[in-house]
Structure 1
């Protein structure tokens, strides 16, 4: 069975996004190419990406322009191409169409749709951003691994990653600190 892996940046106080939707909630993110490289290497191979509508719009807005930009940095263009090739499953009640290749919009029972995805043949599945999706899948015990990029910021307010989720345990797989102050924590669900 395929694994579901969650990847999110979080502030020290547990927020995964700011309240500023105009910036897709990324006001306080501290980007670091070394962190991006380490996360990419430790995450394993994945061919499916699950997103909510807001996160999808942010990804489409951020990544699609790199595809046709001859001046785009090679690393960012490579990530944009990798994301484009992935099957993107977007759960949204409001989004009706997508302009990014390999994108499928679904509405309805998230947990049952994802349960079927896990049973299909293929590589692992990645969930990024998408707080309400993370919360629902975490509550259902369906996320197998959690990759958290802890950013050295106390946000003070924002969107909490684990709002209204019943307590569950995790086992640490790996922890890495970086010069930027970011820390990558890789956990698996305790069974």
Structure 2
């Protein structure tokens, strides 16, 4: 990949393929120490958010009921460079809005010096990145729960071949699968 930064999609999904329930609930998502999420955060210093995902993340920051460990994780994420893909928001000192020329803008950011980039968008943004072949690594943590309905992870319109690179299993029953696009092993 000639030294370019990579875009890493890292997210939780239910066994039946949903990233959230019908009312946006993610209470099924398991975080356990063995997952070592801090190691993942060490790999990235930039985050790509969709507008809705960014707004939900901001709500988390003001939640008084989260643990000290979660506060520390949120502080790490807050210190990262943030880009929000939106047609309605305006940039602030906290984040930069990207609304046009997605592929060109993403390629410019990937070409900058730095660590990898975490794609933390909703399903619409993820689909856009997939359709434009912008995701370099898919890190999907499948949780041992069936929701029956909710927001699906993928709504792709064309085939994508992937290569399995690694599988991690955890005591909770979560299975993390790491894939690369077949054209970028």
TM-score (norm 1): 0.83
Q: Which runs of 5+ in 1 are unaligned?
A: none
Alpha-carbon offset, residue 121 of structure 1: 1.6
Partner of 1:33: 32
Kept in 2, the 8 Å contact 1:46–1:125? The answer is yes
Indicate the SS of the match to 1:19.
Answer: coil
Alpha-carbon offset, residue 118 of structure 1: 1.0
Which residue among 145, 152, 172 is the counterpart of 1:153? 145
CA RMSD of aligned residues (A): 2.2
Indicate the SS of the match to 2:73.
Answer: helix
Kept in 2, the 8 Å contact 1:8–1:129? The answer is no
| Residues 1:132 and 2:124 are matched in the alignment | yes
Partner of 2:56: 58
Which residue among 80, 101, 112 is the counterpart of 1:120? 112
Which residue among 81, 84, 87 is the counterpart of 1:90? 84
* TM-aligned CA distance change 1:92 to 1:19, over 3 Å: farther
Kept in 2, the 8 Å contact 1:35–1:182? The answer is no
TM-score (norm 2): 0.86
For residues 20 and 6 of structure 2, the distance between their equivalents in structure 1, rounded to whole angstroms, comes to 25
Partner of 2:160: 168
42-51 or 52-61: bigger deviation: 42-51
Kept in 2, the 8 Å contact 1:138–1:165? The answer is no
Partner of 1:16: 19
158-167 or 40-49: bigger deviation: 40-49
Indicate the SS of the match to 1:168.
Answer: coil
